[in-house]
Structure 1
């Protein structure tokens, strides 16, 4: 048994988020530009390299693996990678294999994902109005996503809905979204819009809806009970007593969740970001390709974890976007 990954602040690193592609079949306005320049395919790690990298992390104590993008299910041959990761579930080394998706390809892949051991899936939906959905995603179609969610449920997967809180866009759907999730049996997490990518400060400030305000509005209609549970992510949860449903809040701007951070993010090119809100990263592609032996790679991983910062510093105060990072969310993985 190798020594586990422990960062400088004594936090065990047990959660790896892996972006398998920067490409997506949507163009959500808060995530990427409409006319994105994507990475040349030759720069991406192969599925075999992603397997080797993720397996190295599992060998060092990572117990939860979340596959992200871009949209992970648009990568050609991606089921081969899920099948490879499923062997770690079967061995018991990996406790959870899951993914975050826009839902566009779920109807096609849900049965196979479930057969490989995926028990939960996060689906991003910011509005339940078809025209608004098309506007915010630019290329997305809500009925296609809803069919994907139904397929995931039919396959036995639990669905969590992720909704980015956007001022002036989905404020009027707060209760509609909450009640729909309660009826359908979905957990729901609201996320503050993050300053990721060159989108323009005016846009960010216009979009920003603090979750403390959203929560206060929920409390006007429901009885909110704070929950102590943690799922290995940054969300803080409440239970709505009237419906029994669970609501999560991810607040990178109005609440610092870094003290319990247990995760790192791997990009599709082999860059390891130790913090979503910092620019520092470690190149794991070079050590991965330098030797067929994993000793060099594992040494690079440990060196990277030793640089993990205490936290990020996103801030929208003083009518400016402080702490903005230049890469788009699709580059690092949502």
Structure 2
């Protein structure tokens, strides 16, 4: 298969970042993601095999994808995650091998950080909504803060850098913990990033009134730190500020109040082989069926381009006609 033009949608956005969900399963039950009893898991027969997943990724890399982010659910629950990383990191496209990163809750990182690093994983993003054990247990419905902190330390010890810590800011839940989280990150050389809560929960209970906005996050941080905006954001989802003059930074992903759709370069592949042009898309492109019906690489590449051609200019969360995706975040992959 020969390389074609860059992966461009109907609005001229070039797509270089592929987010791949390795599984919809998770070892935590975060209140902003799923109910206490969990959600129905995807049937095993619908899940992409490793060969299928790597083949789609190879086609995408051949079309200009330069970064692959592995997500979930919790991607480290996939038994062959180290092999997945190794095989993707070895792919070669017109821009060379892709950078492979991973978003995780870190519970399995004490055992897997070194093998993943050796396999070619370059970076990790780790979810950490609070440093308080009781609050962590209430938020995740699991008493695992110690394991998360151990996972962060393991990632640090093998040389992953930068280590980014992600927290969903929630009113009356952890909005008083923003400053301690930044202090923890700065003290350890990590980058703290706060995320506006998005309408992607399985129970469809999201309420904008309860969401902590970027403006409120920055106001809270400025009570303790001097923040200076970092120029040159590009297509990154997080807007960055230097903390007390730098070099440490803090980021805010303001998908709701300050959307960055105009510079979006991301496309997503679910664990069951559906291509999504946007986190909030209401439609998907079925690559799994194409694969299993014998499609060649050119047909897969054409399907990826067709899926991207239908990408909307923005997610329209603020529009009265906005409808939350049927899939929760755990089934879409971040």
Classify the secondary structure of the residue corresponding to 1:188.
Answer: strand
Moved more, 235-244 or 15-24: 235-244
Measure how far apart 1:243 and its partner are: 5.6
Which residue number corresponds to residue 166 of structure 1? 170
Classify the secondary structure of the residue corresponding to 1:107.
Answer: helix
Moved more, 85-94 or 218-227: 85-94
Say what the alpha-carbon RMSD is for the aligned residues: 2.0
**1:128-277 correspondence runs (5 A):** 128-158=131-161, 159-201=163-205, 204-205=207-208, 207-230=210-233, 232-241=235-244, 244-277=247-280
Q: 1:284 to 1:125 in 2, by over 3 A?
A: same
Larger helix proportion of the pair = 1
Measure how far apart 1:242 and its partner are: 5.1
TM-score, length-scaled by structure 1: 0.93
Measure how far apart 1:211 and its partner are: 1.7
Q: Contact 1:189–1:235 at 8 Å: present in 2 too?
A: yes
Q: Contact 2:29–2:140 at 8 Å: present in 1 too?
A: yes
Distance 1:25 1:321 in 2: 34
Could you tell me which runs of 5 or more consecutive residues in structure 1 were left unpaired when the two chains were aligned.
Answer: none
Distance 1:111 1:96 in 2: 17
Q: Contact 2:204–2:324 at 8 Å: present in 1 too?
A: no
Aligned length: 330
Distance 1:87 1:231 in 2: 27
Which residue number corresponds to residue 61 of structure 1? 64
Distance 1:213 1:329 in 2: 24
Distance 2:29 2:83 in 1: 26
TM-score, length-scaled by structure 2: 0.93
Measure how far apart 1:207 and its partner are: 4.1
Moved more, 159-168 or 288-297: 288-297
Q: Contact 2:33–2:202 at 8 Å: present in 1 too?
A: no
Measure how far apart 1:119 and its partner are: 2.2
Which residue number corresponds to residue 317 of structure 2? 314
Distance 1:135 1:10 in 2: 44
Q: Contact 1:89–1:117 at 8 Å: present in 2 too?
A: no
Q: Summarize deviations over 1:301-323 as a string: whole Å, max 9, x none.
A: 111111111110113x9xx9954
Q: Summarize deviations over 1:264-307 as a string: whole Å, max 9, x none.
A: 11100111110112212111111122226212111111111111
Distance 1:116 1:274 in 2: 28
Q: 1:91 to 1:275 in 2, by over 3 A?
A: closer
Which residue number corresponds to residue 119 of structure 2? 116
Which residue number corresponds to residue 284 of structure 2? 281
Moved more, 32-41 or 126-135: 32-41
2:28 to 20, 26, 29: 26
Could you tell me which runs of 5 or more consecutive residues in structure 2 were left unpaired when the two chains were aligned.
Answer: none
Which residue number corresponds to residue 324 of structure 1? 324
Q: Contact 1:222–1:242 at 8 Å: present in 2 too?
A: no
Distance 1:176 1:204 in 2: 26
Q: Summarize deviations over 1:23-79 as a string: whole Å, max 9, x none.
A: 011111101122221111111011110010111100100000000000000012222
Distance 2:208 2:256 in 1: 12
Distance 1:14 1:99 in 2: 16
Q: Contact 1:26–1:140 at 8 Å: present in 2 too?
A: no
Measure how far apart 1:217 and its partner are: 1.9
Q: 1:40 to 1:180 in 2, by over 3 A?
A: same
